[in-house]
Amino acid sequence: MKTSKTLTFFTPKASSGNGAVFVDTGISAGFPSPADDFRETRISLDDELIQNKDATFFAKVKGQSMIDAGLDDNDLLVIDRSLEPANNKIAVCFLDGEFTVKRLRVEKNEVWLQPENPDYPIINITEENDFVIWGIVTNVIKKV
């Protein structure tokens, strides 16, 4: 585990089982019918959320700068380092000695890091910045 002020990183572990039971009928928010037939299978979240295990990491969000994108404090991000950065993708970036998660805005030869909270400023990346796009966020896991 590696920590920074804004993100805490984790790597995927080897799967220890066949996954959790998956009920393939959808979950009703109303009253279930006792006559409903359903089929049980097993599902692995690693199989569902990770495309490239060797290039995938997890990180916990710290802060409020991406709340309008649905990324809240302590949410668990799935980050794939093998994906190409692109305009409008949410990326984990290393900026001037710290990790941050922001939406990429790319136009011609300019890059901005766009927070998804109006209380935070847009960051214009210049040649003076120590800047690396570290990976692309593919999924977010929330506690309820």
User: What separation in angstroms does the CA of 19 have from each of 26, 46, 75, 93, 98?
Assistant: 18, 9, 21, 32, 35
Which residue among the candidates 2, 65, 89, 142 is catalytic per the annotation?
65
Which residue among the candidates 16, 28, 102, 108 is catalytic per the annotation?
102
Structure token pair of residue 54: 């060797």
If DSSP codes are grouped into helix, strand and coil, which group holds residue 2? strand
Closest residue by Cα to residue 72 from 2, 140, 3: 140
> Strand pairing partners for 118?
none
Residue 4 catalytic?
A: no
Decide: 136 and 102 in contact? Cβ < 8 Å.
no
- Give the catalytic positions in this structure: 65, 102
